Amino acid sequence: MTAIQISNVQKRYKSLQALGGVSLSIEEGEFFGLLGPNGAGKTTLISIIAGLNRADAGTVQIHGHDVVSDFRAARRKLGVVPQELVFDPFFTVRETLRLQSGYFGLPNNDKWIDEVMENLDLTNKADTNMRALSGGMKRRVLVAQALVHKPPVIVLDEPTAGVDVELRQTLWKFISRLNREGHTIVLTTHYLEEAQAMCKRVAMLKAGQVVALDTMSSLIRKVAGSQLIVHLKAGDIPDDLRHLVLHAEPVDSGKKYSLKVNEYSEVEQILARLRANGAVIDEMQLQQADLEDIFLQIMEKGAL
């Protein structure tokens, strides 16, 4: 079954085209990454999925329920952890979670609330007022609120932004368990190492458009391959090697380039051409590409 079906979703804010016809399907039980730079349209898309915003065109369905025409059923299938820290300062942690349960018609939900709090290390803060919690603890409560009704689809919008290592480990352990139990997870994050470790498939947005959509392993194989990273303290890349340049940046003394390498035998050929062109290599390294390399390449090119 398709967990989330997004079809030609468009959204404009005056002169800004936030989403320009986004279409993608997220299957039930997936751990899916939604990535992109600031302003790419990720939060706008999540707001439309959650029913907090309406698309100008296109449709979104959650487990077959349209988020506009069948919004009650769609909301019950969805739990969203927002990027912003939003909380009611008049309640304790337990009261906050009981209130959230009540929104979904679950008045006797303490057993699950206790389990969620235990898994997020909130048990010893259960009777603490929300105002007295640290930012990291408030973030844990936001995650707990999204989970109180056991939604089959969970959307995490920058869930570990500004939090400590302990919370990250606790959160991912619990979320991974929920995913193994069949919950669909959609993650947006700027911590690309988290996305690479957790997600099986990713979509990348740029300027409101999907510019890449594939499995993690396929993206690494098709886009990046291995990379030869060279720090040149003198000279430059010859013209006939320019097509191999994946990324370039100035450094303290010279320039650093990442060049695509399909086979190890190409390395000596590249080094020979650099020497012949008068380049002086200060440092070099051969490494397998990761998600950050792929992200930079796709954002620079604009599409896969």
- Binned at pLDDT 50, 70 and 90, residue 225 comes out as low
Are both 205 and 263 inside the same structural domain? Answer: no
For residue 175, being part of any structural domain is answered with: yes
Are both 83 and 153 inside the same structural domain? Answer: yes
Higher pLDDT, 176 or 85: 176
Burial of 147 (0-12, 13-18, 19+ CB in 10 A): buried
**How many structural domains is the chain composed of?**
2
Higher pLDDT, 60 or 220: 60
172, 198, 220 — which closes off a domain? 220
Are both 141 and 199 inside the same structural domain? Answer: yes
The mean pLDDT value for 232-260 works out to 86
The token duo for 73 is 């059923």
Q: What is the pLDDT of residues 132-143, one digit of tens each?
A: 998 888 989 999
Residue 247 has pLDDT above 60, yes or no: yes
- Helical pair 110-119 and 93-103, crossing angle rounded to 10 deg: 130
- Binned at pLDDT 50, 70 and 90, residue 233 comes out as confident
Are both 127 and 230 inside the same structural domain? Answer: no
The token duo for 30 is 């997936």
In sequence order, the 6+-apart residues with CB closer than 8 A to the CB of 170 are 119, 120, 121, 140
Are both 247 and 137 inside the same structural domain? Answer: no
Higher pLDDT, 263 or 213: 213
190, 205, 220 — which closes off a domain? 220
The mean pLDDT value for 250-254 works out to 81
Provide the pLDDT for residue 168.
84
Are both 153 and 26 inside the same structural domain? Answer: yes
Are both 190 and 278 inside the same structural domain? Answer: no
Residue 12 has pLDDT above 90, yes or no: yes
Please give the residue range of the domain that contains residue 262. 226-288
Higher pLDDT, 54 or 291: 54
For residue 178, being part of any structural domain is answered with: yes
Residue 67 has pLDDT above 70, yes or no: yes
Are both 161 and 243 inside the same structural domain? Answer: no
Strands (E), 45-197: 57-62, 65-66, 78-81, 153-157, 184-188
Provide the pLDDT for residue 302.
63
Residue 87 has pLDDT above 90, yes or no: no
Are both 179 and 241 inside the same structural domain? Answer: no
Q: Measured at the alpha carbon of residue 99, what is the angle toward residues 97 and 104, in degrees to the nearest 5?
A: 95
Provide the pLDDT for residue 158.
87
Higher pLDDT, 251 or 30: 30
Longest CA–CA span in the chain (Å) reads 76
- Binned at pLDDT 50, 70 and 90, residue 303 comes out as low
Are both 19 and 141 inside the same structural domain? Answer: yes
The token duo for 170 is 């606790």
CATH number of the domain to which 247 belongs: 3.30.70
Query: Percentage of residues in the chain with pLDDT exceeding 90?
Result: 56
Query: Percentage of residues in the chain with pLDDT exceeding 70?
Result: 97
pTM: 0.80
- Helical pair 135-147 and 93-103, crossing angle rounded to 10 deg: 30
CATH number of the domain to which 85 belongs: 3.40.50.300
User: What letter does residue 15 receive in the DSSP assignment?
Assistant: T
Are both 193 and 91 inside the same structural domain? Answer: yes
Distance between CA atoms of residues 152 and 102, nearest Å: 18
Q: What is the pLDDT of residues 184-198, one digit of tens each?
A: 999 999 888 899 999
Round the average pLDDT of the chain to a whole number and report it: 89
Provide the pLDDT for residue 149.
95
Q: What is the pLDDT of residues 14-31, one digit of tens each?
A: 999 999 999 999 999 999
- The CA distances from residue 182 to 1, 29, 77, in Å, are 12, 5, 13
Q: Is the dihedral of CA 112, 114, 119, 125 positive or negative?
A: positive
Provide the pLDDT for residue 224.
56
- Other CB atoms within a 10 A radius of the CB of residue 157 amount to 21
For residue 131, being part of any structural domain is answered with: yes
Residue 154 has pLDDT above 90, yes or no: yes
Are both 138 and 260 inside the same structural domain? Answer: no
